[in-house]
Chains A and B, each alone.
Chain A
Amino acid sequence: MTQLALQHYLAVGAIMFVIGMIGFMTRRNLIVIFLCTELMFQGVAINLIAFGRFWHGLEGQAFVIFVLVIAAAEASLALGLVVLLFRQKNTLDADAWRELKG
């Protein structure tokens, strides 16, 4: 059993980020797209905590707390928007809103 090293944490973070990114690009459902962005967020947050710990500093953790707070605020806003969009077109498909390109 080897000691958990920095690389392991970074690998987990990167995997989470890439899963989120692929999900973002392949799925059409607005809620799933939104979940994928959250996944990418958390991948980055793991990176920050890993480096914070590696350097024995608190900055990484403090920064993640900020990210979480902002993500929570943003989640409430974004889910509210999704509800409103759903009420307009009765669907969650992102392609239904192509006309927003202007």
Chain B
Amino acid sequence: MRTRGENLKVEMDELFAIRHSYLIPLLPLLGAMIAGFFGARWLKDKSHWPIWIGVGSSAVLSFMLLFGMLRHMPEHHAADAGHGGLALSAESRTVGVNKVFFNWITAGNPNNAPHDRFFNAEAGFWFDPLTAVMLCVVCGIGFLITVFSAGYMKGEPGYFRFFSYLGLFIFAMTCLVMGNNLLMLYLGWEGVGVCSYLLIGYYYERPSAREAAKKAFLVNRIGDFGFGLGIMLCFMAFGTIKYFSGDAAHTGLLELVQNPVLSEFQRQALNWIPFLLMMGAFGKSAQFPLHVWLPDAMEGPTPVSALIHAATMVTAGVYMIVRCGTLFVGNSAAMWTVAIVGCFTALFAGTIALRQFDLKKVFAYSTVSQLGFMFVAAGCFAPVAAVFHLVTHAFFKALLFLSSGVVMHATGGELDLSKMSGMKAILPKTRWLMLIGCAALSGLPPLAGYFSKDEIIAASYFQSRLLAAMMLIAAFMTAYYSFRLYFRVFEGPLVVPPPPAHDPHHAAGHDAEEEHAAGHHHDHEPMIMIAPLVILALGAIFAGALAYHHAIGNFLGASPSVAQAYHMAQRVHGLRGKDMHPLQFGQHDVQLEIEKLSKEFVAHEHHVHLTLMIVSALIAGCGVYLAYLMHLRDRSAGDKLAVRFRGAARIFEAKYWIDEVYQNGIVEPLRAAGRGLFMFDRLVVDGLVRVFGFSPHAAGWVVRFTTQRGYLQGYAVMMLLGITAILVFVFYT
């Protein structure tokens, strides 16, 4: 007789999307290989087809997985909850399936487990609601962006190369979100890092692109170093790196850490692991002080900025912290670090975005800032809010980047918002799309960003009022800088900048083909570019509905990562302590239980939520109104403001001189040390080696001129003496 949970698992196993889940990463990889190997010679300007088909099929499979999982969701048993009280077992309401294809890396002896360490990394996937949501974001938005790219990248010299990298990226990213152990996550993690490097350096003939690519790769190495150490420490302490065992034994890493009886070493390790993993997350998700690579990464083509550096790859850090929830929630110091770093980054990047003039740079700093919001949510025991904001942000930030790509396409590569104005006259559709994106980013109700940002602010309020106040300031700045950009670019009198002649990407793509360029300027908004944007815009408007009746919360709450994190947090930090809100972990049943027990607590919670919703809407409105005053009604007012506070403006424009600090504080000393060590190597080490190399030579030279003189008899005597010496040695020792 199988229990309900086991039945669910069997039904889940039979889902088409899970049985054939290997297709999700492999189809884009196959597409990438076809585009990469046959693109240059045969496919040429049709190179997007293998990627469209590969990523499109993965997107279909991802949505099949999502809907299949929704069908198999365990129902909420409020009545059951009445009997069990708050101590309901976590797994009765969670969904998760391991799908193992083969053992990837094994070492050690499994039969002698306690004595010999056994390392096993499976090539396997873990399916739960968190995986499904992430997959849909990656493949769904990935597909829309590949469609857009076919229009945007038309006529570029390395067309096939671009699409090949894009397919490779989707492969790595799907491995990242689907892997059932930390090493699979790390594989995808490094894979997306490589693709990011390749795509930032896509215009490799431009030195700034090469530099940016190297910078992104190296800064990420710093974070990944910590991440790697964290994975090793996990194995050392717990003997496994698999998230969940998927059976009743509960021997997965994330399950073992919940064991109340841990060895001394394991407890020590748990103090360090979250911080090491966090390093990786801060690097990949561009949090202070490892944020410096993301703004420079805008050197890549705009669709890449949208897909990799806004919607998917940079959210991998947030995904990792939510996935490893049970590793983090028990450690207050780690949670506070995540929240504080996130909050600081949100404010810090927001202020820089206030005084940037390049459209893509504004959105880049905005992305850093919004990722900070997600980290605040993750650090304030609100994984649901973090993932919800991740989803809505993916929609509107991809929309914003692609819209600025359309602007860039129309102006011939010019992105300086001080050089353009009133673009709505020539880009009527893009204007509305950009307006929707900016409104969603600002958190204007009732767009998607409003709901997700509000949940984060509420979560931070329950932790600390100061944190919530800072988040509100960051939200205000977000509204201001996004509408500053919108009003400057699309409203006011029409000013179209002349295309910059030096830009190699457009010079190569369009000037060479006069005919094509002429045709292209007739239609600034081709259908192939606008259609994906419309879908993203619909997402940016309606994704907020995911929170209706806590739908996304209930769904994500069925992920063992989230549900067990709640139970762990509850156990470590006390039963429904003031900062432990079950809804923030998608635990609706528990919330209903609490409502029964403590009416005031819940009333207080509702009150806070309602107040913050009104406050954050007002604040977003104020930000928009201020932007209107400064950048549309009287544009000189904005300039006057910048002159009045010229000190602050200068700091923001210089990005707090962080790059200069790194350059002079780290890069230059390292370079000097490198030069010194090089000289040491050349003079001392090589000198010693040369002495040793030269001495046999010199000895041979001496012997040659003293003994080898050409007298036959001399050689005979030498032979005789030699043999005599050997005989004496043999017989007398």
Contact = CB atoms under 8 A, between A and B. Distances in A.
B710 A25 contact: no
Interface stretch (B209-217, B639-647, B711-719): B711-719
B711 A25 contact: no
Contact of B717 (A25, A97, A98, A99): A25
B720 interface: yes
Contacts of B713: 24-26, 94
A100 interface: yes
Contacts of A33: 712
Contact of A94 (B708, B712, B717, B720): B712
Interface in A50-101: 94-95, 97-101
A24 B710 contact: no
Contacts of A101: 708-710
Interface residues of B, number: 9
B480 to A, nearest CB: 89
Contact of B710 (A21, A26, A100): A100
A95 B711 contact: yes
Interface in B550-574: none
Interface string B689-733: 000000000000000000011111100110010000000000000
Interface residues of A, number: 12
A97 B709 CA distance: 11
Nearest to A27: B713
Contacts of A25: 713, 716-717, 720
B710 A99 contact: yes
B716 A98 contact: no
A24 B715 CA distance: 11
Contacts of A21: 716, 720
A99 B712 CA distance: 11
Contacts of A99: 710
Nearest to B708: A101
B720 to A, nearest CB: 7
Nearest to B710: A98
Interface in A1-55: 21, 24-26, 33
Contacts of A94: 711-713
Nearest to A30: B712
Query: Of A98, A99, A101, which is in contact with the most chain B CB atoms at under 10 Å from its CB?
Result: A101
A51 to B, nearest CB: 19
A99 B720 CA distance: 23
B710 A97 contact: yes
Contacts of B717: 25
Contacts of A100: 710
Contacts of B710: 95, 97-101
What 7 A-B pairs have minimum CB-CB distances, sorted nearest first? A98-B710, A101-B710, A94-B712, A25-B713, A25-B716, A101-B708, A24-B716
Given A97-B710, A101-B710, 5 more contacts: A21-B716, A25-B716, A26-B713, A33-B712, A98-B709
Interface of A: 21, 24-26, 33, 94-95, 97-101
15 contacts: A21-B716, A25-B713, A25-B716, A25-B720, A26-B713, A33-B712, A94-B711, A95-B710, A95-B712, A98-B709, A98-B710, A98-B711, A99-B710, A101-B708, A101-B710
